[in-house]
Amino acid sequence: MSKKALITGITGQDGAYLAQFLLDKGYEVYGTYRRLSTPNFWRLQYLGVFEEVNLIPADLLDASSMLEAIKISQPDEVYHLAAQSFVGASFEQPVGAGEITGLGVTRILEAVREINPNIKFYQASSSELYGNGSLEPQSEATPFCPASPYAAAKLYGYWTTKIYREGYGIFACNGILFNHESPLRGLEFVTRKITNAVAKIALGLEKELKLGNLEAKRDWGYAPEYVESMWLILQQEEPDDYVIATNETHTVQEFIEKAFAVADLEWKNYVSVNEKFFRPLDVHYLQGDFSKANKMLCWEPKVKFDTLVEIMVKEDLQRWQKWLKGERFPWDAPNYPSENKILSRMWRLER
């Protein structure tokens, strides 16, 4: 009989890639989605897996819906990916960050404990846990020092996962994943914001790109490879926590330079810095030491920085070219007026 997996947040970047990965492994895949005024299944459709997954309506704010999701799917493995995942927004909705990204973990772990404590549980922990606490590459042993309401909520989720492992004997694991990107990345995250803008500028659809802190350093990997690590983590004999990263770090400016170069454009002619995109606190340096994952899971990243940027720019260019020729396909960008245009219409209190 095939194994069953429940993915919370199946409509997100990682959820869609993980669904595809587990289907390829022969799993029966269930996923939670939440009701939105405009349904958001484009990633599952883009990967051609929408017809193969089983969808369960659920919201992390609603414990009964989490319980229901576990009851319906009766999974062997739960991959808890759902969260309010945008760090910037967590400064605007800090209570929501705690409720959804933090307490949401307890709601689903309680459902696991009540219905079947033998279910294996993966928690989507994050390199944001490290904040600005270390100037050396971060490993499982590096102390955490969160620098946003998002990271504080993820720290709560991280510890809750460990507590359910040690206190209740649940096979519960943290994947401490560093930034991972792809053509399915949300448009507000800096990488996709850049690659989508580069494509539009190259095709004469846009003239400029406004960004915030260009000096922040991130360890950027390729999302399809990172979802494999989630599965590997749950296939081990013992539950444990692992850093997943590339061990390379690059500034936002390096990403911009490379992305514009892929389209034969000079970035300085188009990019400006706008204070609206700065956060009250930012994480300056992330570089992950994945040696434990390499040793225990035999996992290593193959797609590195230059290739990642190329993949993303080329796919965004191709999509806009197809769009201009009149082709229609599931995709987020055409209905998005750009963040700068949204922010120019948005009211917010001065910080």
**One of 20, 73, 90, 126 touching ligand NDP (CB under 6 A):** 126
Q: Choose the one of ligand GDR, ligand NDP, none that binds residue 9, judging by a C-beta under 5 to 8 angstroms depending on kind.
A: ligand NDP
Stretch that binds ligand GDR, among 106-114, 120-128, 136-144, 261-269 (CB under 6 A): 120-128
Q: How many residues bind ligand NDP (CB under 6 A)?
A: 24
Sign of CA dihedral 278, 279, 283, 287: negative
- 150 is annotated as an active-site residue: yes
d(CA 264, CA 261): 5
**249 touching ligand GDR, by CB under 6 A:** no
Q: Which two tokens stand for residue 321?
A: 């070219």
H/E stretch holding 33: strand 28-33
Decide if residue 230 touches ligand NDP (CB under 6 A): no
List the one residue from 120, 200, 218, 250 that touches ligand GDR (CB under 6 A): 218
238 given a catalytic annotation:
no
Using CB under 6 A, which of the segments 187-195, 240-248, 260-268, 307-315 binds ligand GDR?
187-195
d(CA 265, CA 134): 35
x/- mask, ligand NDP, residues 22-61, rule CB under 6 A, reads ------------x-x---x------------------xxx
Q: What is the largest CA-CA distance in the chain?
A: 58
**Cα 328 to Cα 325: distance, rounded to the nearest angstrom:** 9
- Per DSSP, helices labelled H in the chain are 13-24, 42-46, 63-73, 87-92, 94-96, 104-115, 149-168, 190-202, 223-234, 252-262, 291-297, 305-324, 339-345
148 flagged as catalytic? no
Which positions touch ligand NDP (CB under 6 A)?
A: 9, 11-15, 34, 36, 40, 59-61, 81-85, 100, 124, 126, 177, 179-180, 186
Residue positions annotated with a catalytic role: 126, 128, 150
